[in-house]
């Protein structure tokens, strides 16, 4: 056999092997109503069409997930009812191994998407240092402490006699999983107020610019964590100067207020659930348009873990 035919056979074998593996690669999305609407308005079909995704699985309202061996059943049952920001410290410390196989007919969920619902974008305070990832109060510092320990990587939290790691350490320990953090949707004007919405923008910018950059710098070969800023897709820009008449959710009287960092008028329903147009436009950006988010993220992640074959 000449050398060309030998390399050709090896190439065909490796491609067939990759194809077989891809057919058992699943995606799971932990979400509530906004995520459900997004899936129903085109995202599910777009993800199903991906050659690298075999099954699209979900964890949502009413779903039960078993805690991992040796870990507490820390989330109120049914576990799928919990997607507030302070829920994620429990999801990824106490249930991750079972999330990896939740809903799978075969294979495992190698892509894990997770998202809180729009009330999480009402961040009422900056918070008290150093922040507490177990605290239900919606503050900037509490949110940041979830992703990164205030004392830096490698540090842990203690809660109800158990040790908990911040998300960045959990993610780094699981390079075979692509984690997609989806920021919570923005709110319509009467369900938020200026300082709450402004803090949501600050947190989301911190997450995708500061935190993810730091993660990638600390783990340059992994490329297994990405942030999809859905808030940014749905909301007016921070510099938007438009105003509307509304009654802010913080109890201020009705008046004319800015609507920066609040849901664009074209994307609104009767409340803060994004409408069909918002979900369809988001699908193009996330999954179907040229250079879309998930294709780029998946390709970048897989390229970082390519096996180098040495032939003797």
232: nearest Cα among 300, 166, 274, 183? 183
The secondary structure of 95-126 as a DSSP string is SHHHHTTTT-SSSEEEEEEEE--GGGG---B-
How far is the C-alpha of 48 from the C-alpha of 53, rounded, in Å?
7
Average pLDDT over residues 9-37: 69
How far is the C-alpha of 225 from the C-alpha of 216, rounded, in Å?
8
Query: Half-sphere exposure of residue 87, counting CA atoms within 13 Å on the CB side?
Result: 18
Tell me if 90 sits within 8 A of 166, measured CB to CB.
Answer: no
Give ∠ CA 60-64-66 in degrees, rounded to 5.
130
Extents of the domains making up the chain: 21-303
Is the pLDDT at 167 greater than 80, yes or no? yes
Q: What is the pLDDT of residues 65-84, one digit of tens each?
A: 999 999 999 999 999 999 99
**Whole-prediction pTM:** 0.91
Collect all residues with Cβ–Cβ distance below 8 Å to 125 and sequence separation of at least 6: 137, 138, 139, 140, 199
Q: What is the pLDDT of residues 243-280, one digit of tens each?
A: 999 999 999 999 999 999 999 999 999 999 999 999 99
Is the pLDDT at 12 greater than 60, yes or no? no
Q: What is the pLDDT of residues 41-62, one digit of tens each?
A: 999 999 999 999 999 999 999 9
Q: Where are the alpha helices (DSSP H) in the chain?
A: 3-22, 33-38, 44-48, 88-94, 96-99, 140-147, 167-172, 194-205, 212-218, 230-234, 276-283, 293-303
How far is the C-alpha of 63 from the C-alpha of 212, rounded, in Å?
30
């Amino acid at each position: 056999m000449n050398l060309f035919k030998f390399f050709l056979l090896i190439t065909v074998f490796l491609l067939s092997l990759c194809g077989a593996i891809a057919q058992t690669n699943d995606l799971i999305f932990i979400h509530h109503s906004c995520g459900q609407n997004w899936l129903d308005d085109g995202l599910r079909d777009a993800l199903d069409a991906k050659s690298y995704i075999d099954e699209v699985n979900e964890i949502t309202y009413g779903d039960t997930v078993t805690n991992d061996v040796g870990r507490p059943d820390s989330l109120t049952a049914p576990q799928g009812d919990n997607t507030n920001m302070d829920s994620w410290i429990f999801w990824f410390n106490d249930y991750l191994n079972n999330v990896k196989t939740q809903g799978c007919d075969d294979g495992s969920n190698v892509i894990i998407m997770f998202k809180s619902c729009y009330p999480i974008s009402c961040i009422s305070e900056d918070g008290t240092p150093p922040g507490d990832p177990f605290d239900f109060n919606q503050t900037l510092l509490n949110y940041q402490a979830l992703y990164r320990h205030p004392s830096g990587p490698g540090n842990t939290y203690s809660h109800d006699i158990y040790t908990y790691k911040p998300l960045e350490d959990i993610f780094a320990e699981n390079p075979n999983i692509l984690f997609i953090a989806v920021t919570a949707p923005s709110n319509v004007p009467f369900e938020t107020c200026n300082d709450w919405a402004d803090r949501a923008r600050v947190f989301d910018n911190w997450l995708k610019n500061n935190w993810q950059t730091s993660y990638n710098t600390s783990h340059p070969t992994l490329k297994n964590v990405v942030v999809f800023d859905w808030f940014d897709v749905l909301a007016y820009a921070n510099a938007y100067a438009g105003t509307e008449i509304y009654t802010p959710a913080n109890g201020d009287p009705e008046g004319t207020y800015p609507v920066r960092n609040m849901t664009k008028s074209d994307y609104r329903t009767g409340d803060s659930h994004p409408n069909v147009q918002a979900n369809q436009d988001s699908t193009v950006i996330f999954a179907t348009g040229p250079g879309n988010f998930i294709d780029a993220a998946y390709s970048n992640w897989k390229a970082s873990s390519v096996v180098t074959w040495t032939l003797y």
